[in-house]
Amino acid sequence: MTHSVLPDAIALGLLTVQIPAVAILLSRLLRGPWRQPPLQPQSATPEMAGQVSAVVPTLNEVERLTPCLQGLAQQTAELREVTIVDSRSTDGTQALVKAAQQDHPRLQLMEDDPLPEGWVGRPWALHSGWLASDPQARWILGIDADTQPQPGLIPSLLQTAAAQDFDLITLSPQFILQYPGEIWLQPALLMTLVYRFGAAGDLTNAPERVMANGQCFFCKQSVLKAINGYTIAASSFCDDVTLARAIAKTGAKVGFLDGAKVIKVRMYEGLQETWREWGRSLDLKDASERAPIMTDLWVLTMTQGFPIGLLIWSHILLRQGDGQLPVVILGSLNLLLAIIRFALNFAILPSYDLSAATGKWLFWLSPLADPLAVARIWLSANRTPTEWRGRTYTSASKINLPDPT
């Protein structure tokens, strides 16, 4: 039987585009052992008193806000005030806050002004809350309504900032998962960020590659004043990353750190909402130029999206005797990538709270969702959002990072 050269030719072509992508991925993952360790809960010291003002943007968050308010109430004297900026919720969010104010006098409720043209709702609410905050606070803490601050969060942030001279710290939280679909898909979506930017605590990224998470955005008041608050991220659907990269380009020290021990988050309910809501912003196109986005998509496709399929394809060819050395190399390379991916599940396990989860075992099969996760990033990268958190937008202009000079 004559051996077909086509499979080997295809394998050679795939290796040509896959090997450089693997080299880039390994260069990112190998920085992991030297990353900053996870933040630990700390106790406040007297000099921390009143240093922090928190801002919580809300829009129809009555089902998720209570754990956030309770977590902020557990913070001690270092937290000067909490400003809840509500965008005219219709679900009882304001009534919930007013009830909580009876027991927690640090809570303040305000409505932001109608959304100006060119602004997305979240950065506008944060900007409004920042303007209304006490100027005596040295730090502004942006907190999303779906987060659950743990005791010792703010002292931990203050100690870390002082010890390492950070101007901005954002945290990767511990994600609370409950339902089978999200347990399977969400870790695959999270892994796209690890493959692109390295692990939380990696401080080696250039300013234009800085990662951030607006669920816990801890910034010096003076830094926000210098760039006029959130205006640089006005029309960004990933305002956290847009703002963090703009701040990093000014020369400020920015850190995206592991906060799994000090903050939790319950982001989305189930598979469908996870796919629709989180997948829509993961491409970070509002914070990046087109070329790096396409480079990231190439790396993701070659190292996260294709490996299991290519491993199966090469195995079938070799069993049929229809492949030579190129197919063997391709199969071996993708076996290595599959092993790395399954091993990384152990590395990200502390980033998940599965205590109330149904179908916990699906977490270990999340690598099988990788092709879907990568496809979701491709879809998002080529679409402009028109709806976000209950608001409809006619357009959203691309934000360009400022020139630090």
End-to-end CA distance of the chain: 68
Mean pLDDT to the nearest integer, 134-141? 96
Confidence tier at 278 by pLDDT (50, 70, 90): confident
Q: Could you give the residue ranges of the DSSP H alpha helices within 165-288?
A: 180-197, 221-226, 239-249, 270-273
pLDDT at 401 over 50: no
Which of 74-78, 261-265, 286-290, 293-297 is predicted least confidently?
A: 286-290
pLDDT at 293 over 70: yes
Instruction: Please give the pLDDT value at position 386.
Output: 66
Asked if 166 and 307 sit in the same domain, the reply is no
Asked if 10 and 75 sit in the same domain, the reply is no
172, 271, 337, 349, 351 from 182: Cα distances, Å: 18, 5, 23, 14, 14
Residue 202 lies inside a defined structural domain of this protein: no
Confidence tier at 119 by pLDDT (50, 70, 90): very high
Mean pLDDT to the nearest integer, 287-302? 94
Torsion-angle region of 88 (φ positive above 0: left; ψ -120 to 50: alpha; else: beta): left
Answer for the pair 264, 147: CB distance below 8 angstroms, yes or no.
Answer: yes
Asked if 249 and 363 sit in the same domain, the reply is no
Instruction: Please give the pLDDT value at position 3.
Output: 62
Confidence tier at 252 by pLDDT (50, 70, 90): very high
pLDDT at 259 over 70: yes
CB hemisphere CA count around 299 (13 angstroms)? 25
> Domain residues for 114?
35-173+213-266
Asked if 91 and 125 sit in the same domain, the reply is yes
Asked if 73 and 156 sit in the same domain, the reply is yes
Instruction: Please give the pLDDT value at position 323.
Output: 79
Share of the chain above pLDDT 90, in %: 85
Answer for the pair 223, 131: CB distance below 8 angstroms, yes or no.
Answer: no
Residue 259 lies inside a defined structural domain of this protein: yes
Mean pLDDT to the nearest integer, 28-41? 93
Q: How is 84-141 classified by DSSP, letter by letter?
A: EEE---SSSHHHHHHHHHTT-TTEEEEEPPPPPTT--HHHHHHHHHHHHS-TT-SEEE
Residue 402 lies inside a defined structural domain of this protein: no
Asked if 89 and 225 sit in the same domain, the reply is yes
C-alpha closest to that of 175 among 248, 81, 269, 77: 269
d(CA 117, CA 121): 10
Asked if 114 and 15 sit in the same domain, the reply is no
Burial class (CB within 10 angstroms; exposed 0-12, middle 13-18, buried 19+) of 158: buried
C-alpha closest to that of 229 among 247, 213, 250, 215: 247
pLDDT digit string, tens, across residues 173-232: 999 999 999 999 999 999 999 999 999 999 999 999 999 999 999 999 999 999 999 999
Matching residue, tokens 């049929």? 320
CB hemisphere CA count around 240 (13 angstroms)? 20
Residue 165 lies inside a defined structural domain of this protein: yes
d(CA 324, CA 3): 9
For residue 58, the domain's CATH number is: 3.90.550.10
Instruction: Please give the pLDDT value at position 4.
Output: 73
Asked if 161 and 46 sit in the same domain, the reply is yes
Confidence tier at 402 by pLDDT (50, 70, 90): very low
Q: How many CB atoms lie within 10 A of CB 386?
A: 11
Instruction: Please give the pLDDT value at position 394.
Output: 65
Instruction: Please give the pLDDT value at position 375.
Output: 96
Computed from CA positions of residues 43, 46, 48, 53, in that sequence, does the dihedral angle turn out positive or negative?
Answer: positive
Asked if 231 and 364 sit in the same domain, the reply is no
Mean pLDDT to the nearest integer, 259-263? 97
d(CA 124, CA 236): 10
Asked if 239 and 355 sit in the same domain, the reply is no
Residue 168 lies inside a defined structural domain of this protein: yes
Confidence tier at 390 by pLDDT (50, 70, 90): low
* Parallel/antiparallel/unpaired status of strands 216-220 and 139-143: antiparallel
Instruction: Please give the pLDDT value at position 400.
Output: 39
pLDDT at 54 over 50: yes
Residue 403 lies inside a defined structural domain of this protein: no
Asked if 283 and 166 sit in the same domain, the reply is no
Matching residue, tokens 């209950």? 390
pLDDT at 242 over 70: yes
C-alpha closest to that of 254 among 222, 284, 218: 218
Which of 5-14, 372-381, 387-396 is predicted least confidently?
A: 387-396
* Helix H or strand E encompassing 56: strand 52-58
Higher pLDDT residue, 157 or 281? Answer: 157
Mean confidence (pLDDT) of the chain: 92
Residue 362 lies inside a defined structural domain of this protein: yes
pLDDT at 405 over 90: no
Residue 143 lies inside a defined structural domain of this protein: yes
Structure pTM? 0.92
Say how many domains are in the chain.
2
Asked if 76 and 110 sit in the same domain, the reply is yes
Confidence tier at 6 by pLDDT (50, 70, 90): confident
pLDDT at 127 over 90: yes
pLDDT digit string, tens, across residues 307-322: 999 999 999 999 888 8
HEC sequence for 142-192: EECCCEEECCCHHHHHHHHHHHHCCCEEEEECEEECCCHHHHHHHHHHHHH
Instruction: Please give the pLDDT value at position 1.
Output: 43
